[in-house]
Amino acid sequence: MVAGVLDQVTAVRYVDPLRAGGSVPGVVETDDLGTYVVKFTGAAQGRKALVAEVIVGELARRLGLRVPPLVLVDFDPAVGADEPDAEIQDLLRSSSGLNLGMDLLPGARDFRPGMIDVDPAEAGRVVWLDALTANVDRTVHNPNLMVWHGRLWLIDNGAALVFHHRWAGAPAGVSRRYDLSDHALGGYRPDVARADAELAPLVTPALLREVLALVPDAWLTDEPGFGSPAELREAYVGHLSARAADSAAWLPEGFATPEQQRAAEARRAAVTRAGRPAWLQQVPDLHGQPAVEIDGRGHFG
C-alpha cells in the first residue's frame, strides 16, 4: 500500500454471495491473484458503511490491532453475469466502479466467546476502539471478529461512526458513552483504562487525516452541509480527535460476565420459543449464532 492510498485491484471473477451478512458481500477474485470479501456500494447500507469500514479498519491497524488488508475493488457487473439470483444481480448492477474489499483469511473461523484466550490488554484495546468510534455492533450475538492462526482479527466495522448519519447531532455525541455492556469481549475483563492511556494520545488530527485520506472522494460527495470531500474529511477528523481528547467521559464500564451473558441468551431464546407455534417449540433458535465456515474459507458477514 502506498502511503495515503489504498491498493486498487480489478475484479475478474464473482465467486459467491455471503448471504449471512445484511449487506450481502461477495467473495471476489481479482487481477492481483487475491481473493477478497467485497462490500458493495449498491447495498442497502450505502457508501457510509464503506466509509466506516475504511476509517475504523485503518485506524485500528495504526493502533496495533489486526485487520485484514483492505483494497479498493474496481467492479464491472459483467464479472458477475452468471450469478443466478435476481436480487444479487440488482446489487451487482448498482455497484459498478469502486467497492471495498477485505482480504479473505483462508480457514478463519467466526469468533465465539470462550473459544480462545484473549488477554485483558488486547480485549481492552478492541473495546476502547469500539467506544471511540461508536461501534455498538460487536456483541456476543454478533461478534464481528474472526480467529485466524489463534489470533483475533477485526472485521465488519460498517455499523460504526453512527454520528455520520446525522451530522447536525454530531457535536452532542463527542462525549457520549455508548452501551457496550454486551460486547463480545466483555467476558475477558477488558482493561479499558490501560487501553485509554496507551491509545488516546495516538489518535491525533495528523493520524486521523492520514486515515481519512484513504477514503475515495467518490464516497464523500453529496453530503448535505458540506461543500467538498476535503471539508467532510475534516469533520470526521474534528469529531474523532475531540472524542479521543475527552475519553474520560465515555470510557465503557459494566460489562456483563459470561454467566450473565448466558443467562440473557437463555431468556432471549425462551421468549423467542414462546412466540412460536407448538410444532416449532422444540426447534433450536439459531438467530444470532456464529455463522459457519463456507467451504473452509473465512466468512465475513
Read off the C-alpha cell for 24: 450481502
**Whole-number pLDDT of residue 292:** 37
Q: At what angle do helices 120-132 and 229-245 cross, to 10 degrees?
A: 130
For the chain, domain boundaries: 8-106, 110-249
Give yes or no for a contact between 244 and 206, defined as CB atoms under 8 angstroms apart: no
Using CB atoms within 10 Å of the CB of residue 253, give its burial: 0 to 12 exposed, 13 to 18 middle, 19+ buried: exposed
Cell numbers 422444540 correspond to 282
Instruction: From first to last of the 301 residues of the chain, give the pLDDT tens digit.
Output: 545 689 999 999 999 999 776 789 999 999 999 999 999 999 988 999 999 999 999 999 999 999 999 999 999 999 999 999 999 999 999 999 999 999 999 999 999 999 999 999 999 999 999 999 999 999 999 999 999 999 999 999 999 999 999 999 999 999 999 999 999 999 999 999 999 999 999 999 999 999 999 999 999 999 999 999 999 999 999 999 999 999 999 999 888 777 766 676 677 667 766 666 665 555 444 444 444 343 444 444 4
Contact 220, 150 (CB under 8 A): no
Q: Grid coordinates in use for 94?
A: 448498482
DSSP class per residue in 184-216: TTGGG---HHHHHHHHGGG--HHHHHHHHTTS-
At 6, list the grid cell: 489504498
What the block records as the C-alpha cell of 62 is 495504526
CB 72 within 8 A of CB 127: no
What is the C-alpha to C-alpha distance for residues 265 and 271, in angstroms, rounded to an integer? Answer: 10
Instruction: Name the 3-class secondary structure at 227.
Output: coil
Which amino acid, one-letter code, is at 152? L
Let me know: does 137 contact 156? Beta carbons within 8 Å.
yes
pLDDT confidence of residue 276: 64
